[in-house]
Amino acid sequence: MVVNLNADKPHRCPDCHTITDPEHKARWRVVSCCRCGCEFTRFPLLSRILPYAGIVCPEHHPRRTT
């Protein structure tokens, strides 16, 4: 089940408060928490049509530096 993200801290998981989305793009995609597996987005009713990003935390999905 996809839940709504925290309005005051959109970069944190709404369930366990782990930093999961440092770029704050969970508004337009579905993001998964690396710790608890919670899926969240700004618009949970649209979760079926929003793109699924998966885990995007900096620890488990590092950016390329090239």
Q: How would residue 66 be classed by pLDDT, with cut points 50, 70 and 90? A: very low
The residues, ordered by sequence, that sit 6+ positions from 51 with a Cβ below 8 Å of its Cβ are 28, 29, 30
Q: Convert the pLDDT of each residue in 26-46 to its tens digit.
A: 678 898 888 998 999 889 999
> Is the confidence at residue 64, as pLDDT, over 70?
no
Mean pLDDT calculated for residue range 21-29: 76
The model's pTM is: 0.79
DSSP the chain: -EEEPPSS-TTB-TTT--B--TT--GGGSEEE-TTT--EEES-GGGTTTSPEEEE--TTTSPPP--
Asked if 11 and 20 count as a contact pair (C-beta separation under 8 A), the reply is: yes
- The rounded percent of the chain whose pLDDT value lies above 90 is 26
